[in-house]
Amino acid sequence: MYDQQQHQDFHAAIEACDDRILNPQGLPDNPGRRQIIKGGLTLGMLALLAPGLSACQRQANAKTNKLLGFQSVEAQTSHSFDSVIVPPGYRAEAFFSWGDPVLAQAPQWRADASEDWQAQLLQAGDNHDGMHFFPFADEPDNHGLLVINHEYINPTLHPNGPSEYLRDDGSRQRPLQEVLKEQAAHGISIIELRRDADGRWQRVFGDFNRRISSLTPMRISGPLAGDLRLCTASDPTGLEVIGTLNNCAMGITPWGTYLACEENFHNYFVNRNRTDHAQRAEHQRYGIAAGSSSRYYAWESVDPRFDATPIPQQPHQGHVNEPNRFGWVVEIDPFDPHSTPRKLTAMGRLGRECAVCSLSEDGRMAFYSGDDARGEYVWKFVPDGRHDPHNPAASRDLLDSGTLYAARFDANGRGQWLALHHGDGPLIAANGFPDQQAVLLNARGAADLLGATPMDRPEWVAVNPLNRDVYVSLTNNHLRGSEFALDAANPRPNNLHGQILRWSEDGADPTALNFDWELFLLAGDAPGAVDAGGQPVAEELVGTIEGDCFSSPDGLAFDADGRLWIQTDADDEAPHTYNIGCNQLLCADPVSREVKRFLVGPWGAEITGITWSPDYRTLWVNVQHPGISYPASDGQSRPRSTTVMITREDGGVIGT
């Protein structure tokens, strides 16, 4: 039986890592490419509306609200809850679980997790996270590619959990075969889906199926391609990186590519020279461990690339620059299975949660990102060029040049985008920024100097297709009010439940330098709620949700009708989630602010990764790291991260 305490300890340890951060060329054209028109469908549908509705209009709309046309499901507070529930009239099915075959030659997954790393390279990775459905143009509602991030790995990857022993110097030693399996279980799966004659989605083994992992070669593009600060002993060119790490949320481009984002990459590296670490901003400011071992998996004990301790006698000082090669947006062309993923250095190096596009009618755009750590920033990247929908191939290099901005949220409800331009203001050599490459490499440090607003862990961003308002989840921050000062955008001390903030760019222009912002809601309990002891919950745990309560918003996405879908990642063991229980998917009306609970997942899981078929009649979400036996795609019982497919029994549009 799976050890629930082990599960809690493991995910609590990963969560704790956030605290330490704060101390301190064109690819060839191909037939598939030309079929992806619908991949940018929702972006192409963006339309400018009049500026935001007045409070009176909002109230009037609330009374006639028909946007949320389903019956709420109840919160599930039992630690033995082992299912996925959806509203009456809906069906939820396990669809694609860790270990399922991605490539036709993949061996059958074994319930004892005994397959080796070579098998894992052909199978679904672990911890499904952000994902997107890319339809084929010929049959968009019946045929497409599902692209899924695999963020990190669980102890369940190995038959008896990971093994290690302590060396005499106190460092952790891991077995090579286990490390290789863990590296193979990271990355991205691309699987082809087709609806059969009965209307059921099937996974098929087409030419596009692909596994990208922490072992897959990638190309560095943009201003830091070939830069000395990205050169290592194993790559003196600074042009090629092996693998991607900790791909959390994602984005898509109007030209039909997938953007996998590298979030908590710092946990995979160690710099054992504490003196060097303290002086090396690109290690220190990003939370690279200074000590005997990396935080997560001690890969450095068998793979020297992850030991970022400088070695002065070696070219490029061994692997001291290897952490500089992570923390980027990785662009993947799902329709070209032979393409090399590209790490996009112009977009800056962050603990990158997501990269979400807002596109104007004239082709100008912004890509919004959260940097998910306590006190980190909200970002946008504005490419220099414009997207031409009639010539998408010409857009392929648009993410290699542009301006990176960090957000400042002022108390008067206005906000400003602060440009990270080398030479402007404090971004000069005397402050550690000798050139623009240094600014991009230590974007966090540059934003510190510019006075960006430290936020309560910015996670996903979503853009309302009806008016281009932008929403960000600020998932929680128990150090607000102590280590971080209260402010208007982050107003709650000991913020255990988080909030959702939204803004409107001036003129609904994604490239605007200023915006209006407001808190959309504070998550948490309802007024009058009582805790496990029957006492009223603390004032700081009461939210402003109009409807069903939740904690720790994380995943956000809009459907084409303008419903805001909210996914949660709360610690469902904790006392403050007594009334809220297991993580869930909810749906909000952006105008009335009403919230209804649509789905609850099994105990211990995060609900994440949301995408639809173009007709919005099929919804896929991910159950990540379930802490309890939960039926996976083959009905076997070992807890497995799983993509769940949701449809309506009458075949209707989800949520209506």
Indicate whether 589 belongs to the interface with Ca ion (CB under 5 A).
no
With CB under 5 to 8 Å by kind, the binding choice for 263 among Ca ion, ligand FEO, none is: ligand FEO
E strand or H helix at 50:
none
Candidate segments 236-244, 431-439, 501-509, 567-575, binder of Ca ion by CB under 5 A: 567-575
Stretch that binds Ca ion, among 332-340, 462-470, 515-523, 551-559 (CB under 5 A): 551-559
Q: Kindly identify the residues of this chain, within the stretch 456-485, that bind Ca ion according to CB under 5 A.
A: 459
Give yes or no for a contact between 408 and 398, defined as CB atoms under 8 angstroms apart.
Answer: no
Give min distance, CB of 394 to Ca ion, in A: 33
Please, which residue, 459 or 505, has the CB nearer to Ca ion? 459
Q: Long-range CB contacts (< 8 A, 24+ apart) of 568-574?
A: 568/606, 568/607, 569/459, 569/475, 569/606, 569/607, 569/608, 570/476, 570/497, 571/11, 571/12, 571/15, 572/603, 572/604, 573/8, 573/79, 574/496
Q: From Ca ion, ligand FEO, none, which one binds at residue 276 (CB under 5 to 8 Å depending on kind)?
A: none
In whole angstroms, the minimum distance from the beta carbon of 489 to ligand FEO comes to 18
Encoded amino acid at 35, one letter = Q
Beta strands in 524-582 (DSSP E): 546-547, 553-558, 564-568
User: 396 or 497: whose CB is closer to ligand FEO?
Assistant: 497
| Piece of 202-210, 569-577, 632-640, 641-649 that binds Ca ion (CB under 5 A) | 569-577
Question: Min. distance of Cβ 481 from ligand FEO in angstroms?
Answer: 21
Q: Near Ca ion by CB under 5 A, which window of 23-31, 183-191, 223-231, 565-573?
A: 565-573
Cβ distance to ligand FEO smaller for residue 303 or 372: 372
Q: Which residues of 275-292 are buried (b: 16+ CB within 10 A; e: fewer)?
A: ebbeebbbbbbbbbbbee
Going residue by residue from 497 to 536, which x/- string records binding to Ca ion, judged by CB under 5 A? ----------------------------------------
Q: Report the residue number, 583 or 592, with the smaller CB distance to Ca ion.
A: 583
User: Whole-number minimum distance, CB 10 to ligand FEO, in Å?
Assistant: 15
Catalog residues that contact ligand FEO under the rule CB under 6 A. Answer: 151, 248, 263, 353, 372, 459
Whole-angstrom Cα distance, residue 585 to residue 595?
10
Confirm if 639 and 629 have CB atoms less than 8 A apart: yes
Verify binding: residue 554, Ca ion, rule CB under 5 A. Answer: yes
Q: Cβ 174 to ligand FEO, closest distance in Å?
A: 23
Of the candidate spans 285-293, 424-432, 546-554, 571-579, the one that interacts with Ca ion by CB under 5 A turns out to be 546-554
CB of residue 16 to ligand FEO, shortest distance in Å:
14
Choose from Ca ion, ligand FEO, none: what does 559 bind? Cβ within 5-8 Å by kind. none
Are the C-beta atoms of 237 and 181 separated by less than 8 Å? Answer: no
The distance of closest approach from Cβ of residue 627 to ligand FEO in the complex, given in angstroms and rounded to an integer, is 17
Smallest separation, CB 84 to ligand FEO (Å): 20
Q: How far is residue 119's CA from residue 99's CA, in Å, rounded to a whole number? A: 9
Query: Which tokens in the block code for residue 242?
Result: 């092996």
Tell me: does residue 569 bind Ca ion (CB under 5 A). yes
Q: Which is nearer to ligand FEO, 248 or 541 (CB)?
A: 248
Query: Per the structure block, which two tokens stand in for 550?
Result: 């939740």
Q: Name which of 504 and 584 has its Cβ closer to ligand FEO.
A: 584
Nearest approach in angstroms of CB 522 to ligand FEO is: 19
**Residue 572 near Ca ion by CB under 5 A:** no
Closest to Ca ion by CB, 268 vs 616, is: 268
Asked if 151 interacts with Ca ion (CB under 5 A), we say: no
DSSP class of 156:
G
Q: Nearest approach, Cβ of 471 to Ca ion (angstroms)? A: 14
**H-type helices in 581-656, by residue range?**
none
- Closer Cβ to ligand FEO, 439 or 585, answer by number: 585
Residue 371 binding target from ligand FEO, Ca ion, none, CB below 5 to 8 Å by type: none
What letter would DSSP give residue 634?
A: T
C-alpha distance from residue 519 to each of 66, 491, 494, 499, 591 (Å): 23, 10, 17, 7, 13
Q: Do residues 321 and 230 lie in contact, with contact meaning Cβ atoms separated by under 8 Å?
A: yes
Q: Of ligand FEO, Ca ion, none, which one does residue 151 interact with (CB within 5 to 8 Å by kind)?
A: ligand FEO
d(CA 463, CA 503): 10
- The size of the interface with Ca ion (CB under 5 A), counted in residues, is 3
CB of 624 to Ca ion, least distance (A): 9
Out of Ca ion, ligand FEO, none, what residue 373 binds, judged by CB under 5 to 8 A for its kind, is none
Q: Nearer Cβ to ligand FEO, position 584 or 592? A: 584
In angstroms, what is the minimal distance from the CB of 274 to Ca ion?
30
Specify the residue, 232 or 552, whose C-beta has the smaller distance to ligand FEO. Answer: 552
Tell me the β-bridge partners of 488. Answer: none
Q: How would you label 617-641 residue by residue, b for 16+ Cβ within 10 Å and e otherwise? A: bbbbbbbbbbbbbbbbbeeeebbbb
Nearer to ligand FEO, 548 or 606 (CB): 606
Shorter beta-carbon distance to Ca ion: residue 375 or 402:
375
Helix residue spans in 372-441 (DSSP H): 436-441
3-state helix, strand, coil in the chain (%, to 5): 20, 30, 50
Q: How far is the CB of 255 from Ca ion (least distance, A)?
A: 25
Q: Which two tokens stand for residue 416?
A: 């400003």
> DSSP letter at 443?
H
Between CA 28 and CA 21 the distance in angstroms is 40
Shortest spacing between CB 35 and ligand FEO, in angstroms: 31
Alpha-carbon distance of 473 to 552, in angstroms, equals 8
Nearer to ligand FEO, 151 or 336 (CB): 151
How far apart, in Å, are the Cα atoms of 382 and each of 396, 509, 614? 15, 11, 27
Among ligand FEO, Ca ion, none, partner that 333 touches (CB below 5 to 8 angstroms by kind): none
Whose Cβ is closer to ligand FEO: residue 117's or residue 152's? 152
| Size of the chain in residues | 656
Amino acid identity of 55?
A
3-state class (DSSP) for residue 172: strand
Residues within the interface to Ca ion (CB under 5 A) = 459, 554, 569
